[in-house]
Structure 1
Amino acid sequence: MDSSRDFSGIWIPLVTPFLDGAVDHAGLRRLVTRLAGSGVAGLVLNGSTGEAAALSEAEQLAVLDTACGTLPVIAGISGITPQAVAARLDALRGRDLAGVLLTPPYYVRPSQAGIAEHFRRAADASPAPLLLYDIPARTGVRIETATMLGLAAHPNIAAVKDCSGDLDHAQAVINDGRLQVLAGDDHRLFTTLCQGGVGAICASAHLRPDLFVALHRAVATNDLRTAAALWRRLWPLTKALFAEPNPAPLKAALALLDGLGPDLRAPMTAASPEALASVLAAVEALR
């Protein structure tokens, strides 16, 4: 495996902190510094946990510039038309990226042929290895197994963030062996690793990255007894963090535990006191 195309490990889809309505770059740097010593593989910036849909393109690029340089970085992008995706990819040139994470076209619900062409054109133009982001709950379309295995032949497509919710599909891609599979739903982390996935893009790991890293390491070394014990401890945290729309519970917890601003951009709303209490109880249980 080319080490520059190895996405094994726990990646954290970073929140975007805000202060008085603007991106809090100082807070972002503090968060990156804390996570840099935790053993995580790297960061995913400008994803749904980072509220990318509420950031301007200039803000997204500024977030990349603030966070790059300490840990490997995957940049999240999206777009409906080929021209829009090409423009987003072109704006990334010159930045030191481990990869680019791209969704299918959202809202328009193209055919599988249209989805395949979307990714092939992006892979041709991408300045870093492309990761397919299969998240039908947000885009309205799936990347079907046959489509994904066809895309695996492209030399610049390296991995997939799997939020399909389909264990058979994930297993087929893992068995094929050409694309690395990372869990994209936190509650499926243990299952995906045991299926043969190489890691996860896991928002919950903001709070106890050391334990998530230990879980990944235990599965990778076939210490399933330790891995299962760790997962039983971590599972309540993953459930609590997603009891309300992400990243509201996570940001509320980070505000108390890390001093990070709790603000979200509309239409996101703050976590309820009950949701925050559940997250804090799950964190306390991990001490």
Structure 2
Amino acid sequence: MSIFSGIWIPLVTPFTAGAVDHRALAALVERYRDAGVAGFAALGTTGEPAALSGEEQDAVLATVLRAAEGLPVVAGVAGNRASALRERVLRLNDEPIAGVLISAPYYIRPSQAGLLEHFSTLADASAKPIVIYDIPYRTGVRIELDTLLTLAGHPRIQAIKDCAGSPETTLALILDGRLRVLAGNDDAMFASLCMGGAGAIAAGAHVRTERFVAMYQALARGDLAEGRAIYHELTPLLRALASEPNPAPVKAALAAQGWVENELRSPMTPASEALTRVLADRLAA
């Protein structure tokens, strides 16, 4: 069975007084490990990697790998300079990671032919499985279905974090069967799992983690009523967590629970006071 299934946490990067808080990060990983998650994504969007230096990124990944204690960890790789991306993937070949999460190049909006070259070149360079990260909201370019189906033929491209917002594409990939489809938008997670998706890389699962795991397990065993009931229970919280730019709401929720400081790096800003109050109410319910 593929490791790319179940509920994965796209970890935040905690900060204290401007520095990465490795103690808080390790505590989060341990907490989620005990809650039954399937794995972790380090240095994805939720981890604010664009605000981290190369040395900080390496240190964050090392902390996550130590604390994960054998649970699979994928490392995010993003950017738009091809040579630097290839060098990063080659360096990650020496790390004990389970895969590399790679997005389309942001800002430059390449053609579909350019996207094929981008992912194929990095997959050729990688000794680890590749998880495609399709998030046009942030990159400015959508990976079209035909492109995804072509990339699915590469032996190291094994999964997709699906944030494109297209149920038709999601279903087509599930029916094709070559890529493990992991929902990346929390509001699409239930539908994706019901269609046969493999799991989710869910920012919202930073809180109420056990309930996310229970929802996945219910749907995996075919208990639609239980899975639906849990999703409906989580929906108000998920809506609040998605109401301002990620990861500010997630960090505000974690700060309310005492896990991290409510601190982000500029130009990201903390969640508004109004949302912070809403999140506190949702978590207390």
Same-fold call, TM > 0.5?
Answer: yes
Q: Do the aligned residues in 2 keep the contact of 1:77 with 1:101 (CA within 8 Å)?
A: yes
Does the CA contact (< 8 Å) of 1:82 and 1:121 recur in 2?
Answer: no
1:1-287 matches, within 5 Å, as: 1=1, 5-69=2-66, 70=68, 71-285=71-285
Aligned AA (1:278)? V
Hey, what's the Cα distance between the residues in 1 that align with 2:201 and 2:117?
Answer: 25
For 1:270 and 1:8, how far apart are their aligned partners in 2? 31
Cα separation, 1, equivalents of 2:219 and 2:256: 31
- Taking the aligned partners of 2:43 and 2:81, their CA distance within structure 1 comes to 19
Q: 1:89 corresponds to which letter in structure 2?
A: V
TM-score (norm 1): 0.96
**In structure 2, how many angstroms separate the alpha carbons of the residues matched to 1:114 and 1:259?**
41
Matched-pair contact (CA < 8 Å) for 2:28–2:259 = no
| Residue identity opposite 2:214 in structure 1 | A
Range 248-257 or range 145-154, more displaced? 248-257
Could you list the runs of 5+ residues in structure 1 that have no partner in the other structure?
Answer: none
- The answer to whether the Cα contact below 8 Å between 2:256 and 2:280 also exists between their aligned partners in 1 is no
Q: TM-score, normalised by structure 2?
A: 0.96
Query: After TM superposition, what 4+ stretches of structure 1 lie above 6 angstroms from structure 2?
Result: none
Aligned length: 282
Instruction: Give the partner amino acid of 1:36.
Output: R
Matched-pair identity in %: 52
CA shift, 1:100, in A, is: 0.5
Aligned counterparts of 2:269 and 2:79: Cα–Cα separation in 1: 25
Amino acid at match of 2:280: L
In structure 2, runs of 5+ residues without a counterpart are none
Mapped partners of 1:206, 1:106: distance in 2? 26
Amino acid at match of 1:63: V
Q: For the Cα contact (< 8 Å) 2:218–2:224, is it kept in 1?
A: yes
CA RMSD of aligned residues (A): 1.0
CA distance in 1, matches of 2:3, 2:105: 26
In 2, the alpha carbon distance for the partners of 1:134 and 1:114 equals 14
Between the aligned partners of 2:119 and 2:271, the Cα distance in structure 1 is 35
Give the SS at the match of 2:35.
coil
C-alpha offsets along residues 106-128 of structure 1, whole Å, 9 cap, x if unaligned?
A: 11111101101100011111131
SS across alignment from 1:7:
coil
